[in-house]
Amino acid sequence: MAKDLDENEMSLEEAAQRLEALAAELRDEDTFDIDIENRTVHLSPPSTIAMEVGVRETSSLLRGARETVTVKMDWKPQS
């Protein structure tokens, strides 16, 4: 089982555009592709999926304050 992660810095506008593009794919397609690094992943979500949104706030004297939002969606692919 492979786990691919695409992590990079971007503006708030670019982040919003990426999330909106993903939402459009979920809304409009039975299947869709996501480009992660140098790979394209083909996804086939069913009409109902599990979704989790998490928020973490941390504060460290050495690293300073940090806020993290994680969005996780998972499903068994359609046949």
The structural domain count of the chain equals 1
Per the domain annotation, does 49 fall within a domain?
yes
Per the domain annotation, does 2 fall within a domain?
no
Per the domain annotation, does 58 fall within a domain?
yes
- Cross-strand bridge partners of residue 53: 71
Name residues of the chain where pLDDT drops below 70: 1-7, 79
**5: nearest Cα among 32, 35, 31, 43:** 35
pLDDT at site 3: 58
Per the domain annotation, does 46 fall within a domain?
yes
Per the domain annotation, does 7 fall within a domain?
no
Per the domain annotation, does 3 fall within a domain?
no
30 and 42 in contact (C-beta within 8 Å)? no
Per the domain annotation, does 54 fall within a domain?
yes
Domain encompassing residue 49: 12-74
Both ends of the chain: CA-CA distance in Å? 18
pLDDT at site 73: 94
pLDDT at site 12: 93
Per-residue pLDDT reduced to its tens digit, 37-50: 888 999 999 989 99
